[in-house]
Amino acid sequence: MKPFDQFAVIDWSGEAVARPKGLALACAERGTHAPTLLAPTGGWSRQGLTDWMRDHALARTRLLIGMDLSPALPFLDRGSYFPGWAQSPGEATALWALVDQLASADDHLSVRNVLTHCEVKRHFRQHGNCGDLFPSGRGRLRRCEEGQAAMGLSPYSCFNLVGAAQVGKSSLTGMRTLHQLRGMVPVWPFDPIPDEGPLIVEIYTSLAARAALLPKGRSKMRDGAALDSALAALGADPHSPLPRYSDHATDAILTTAWLRKVADDARLWSPPGLSVQIAATEGWTFGVI
């Protein structure tokens, strides 16, 4: 695999507004310089970040992009994303197309019409409306999320849309972006790793926090000193002070430093639990082994 020259992490958000406060982007080149937070006036939109990635595809930038979302729903536990529905897709790329199609009338790359679809909504736990096909307990998990749990992390089901830690809405909105970038920006492990141009991988910011020796349950950095201490644990230089510190900004910066540090580790590109079927249907979190 040809090494990457640049690295970026996008802290994603499923909030159904034009410019979600939870969106953040940090970038870094090879070396030890601290990642830089890129923040346009007024903040990012999901479409703006999608266009940013498309521009790098056109420029053939050798860029590894980590996106903090789940690029697919659980499949292998039930042999289907939406068991009992004849139109349920059979692989992740078809799922992305379906989500984008159902949400085509939704503004800001949001997914309201996906979650009100008569068949799809039956599988999700939403505020005041738990679908009749949402199982008891925490909900369905992908194989890589079971791997996260085995590593001592705390994954959430993509079908759970309730609570501050839910990841379902951000994942569904992210699928719209992945579909719109189809054919321009490959996504690991659904696509082969290219020798030029950008590549997207799924990341979990808690892996970076663990590598930076941040204690579980207290991994959020809300000031410059805490961020610099975590960066130093990853071999990165102190960062340029930010006008405002938020969990999203510091997560993006730290996880970019982590992604740069581990990107050349061959073990992470061939995790033992990743099969051909998983690569086609559920995907894998980069760093879970």
| Per-residue model confidence (pLDDT) at position 136 | 84
CA nearest to 6, candidates 61, 53, 68: 61
In a domain, residue 278? The reply is: no
| Per-residue model confidence (pLDDT) at position 219 | 60
Last residue of a domain, one of 155, 180, 205: 180
**174 and 230 in a common domain:** no
Q: What is the edge-to-edge ordering of all strands in the sheet holding 36-38?
A: 36-38, 24-29, 6-11, 63-67, 199-202
In a domain, residue 285? The reply is: no
**197 and 63 in a common domain:** yes
pLDDT tens, N- to C-terminus, the chain (289 residues): 899 999 999 999 999 999 999 999 999 999 999 999 999 999 999 999 999 999 999 999 999 999 999 999 999 999 999 999 999 999 999 999 999 999 999 999 999 999 999 999 999 999 888 999 999 888 999 999 999 999 999 999 999 999 877 889 999 999 999 999 999 999 999 999 999 999 999 999 999 999 999 987 666 787 899 999 999 999 999 999 998 899 999 999 999 999 999 999 999 999 999 999 999 999 999 999 9
In a domain, residue 76? The reply is: no
In a domain, residue 284? The reply is: no
Last residue of a domain, one of 180, 204, 232: 180
- The Cα 140–Cα 166 span in angstroms is 13
**99 and 241 in a common domain:** no
| Per-residue model confidence (pLDDT) at position 167 | 87
**169 and 188 in a common domain:** no
- The Cα 269–Cα 47 span in angstroms is 29
- 5's tokens: 């020259």
In a domain, residue 60? The reply is: yes
**66 and 188 in a common domain:** yes
In a domain, residue 280? The reply is: no
The total of structural domains in the chain comes to 2
**195 and 161 in a common domain:** no
**176 and 96 in a common domain:** yes
Question: What pTM, to 2 d.p., does this model score?
Answer: 0.96
**58 and 15 in a common domain:** yes
Last residue of a domain, one of 132, 157, 180: 180
- The Cα 248–Cα 20 span in angstroms is 11
CA distances (Å), 63 to each of 51, 53, 136, 217, 266, in order?
15, 9, 41, 31, 17
**38 and 168 in a common domain:** no
In a domain, residue 130? The reply is: yes
Question: Could you give phi then psi for residue 209, rounded to 5 degrees?
Answer: -60, -40
In a domain, residue 100? The reply is: yes
**96 and 162 in a common domain:** yes
**96 and 163 in a common domain:** yes
DSSP 203: -
List the domain range (segments joined by +) for residue 229.
6-70+184-269
**195 and 245 in a common domain:** yes
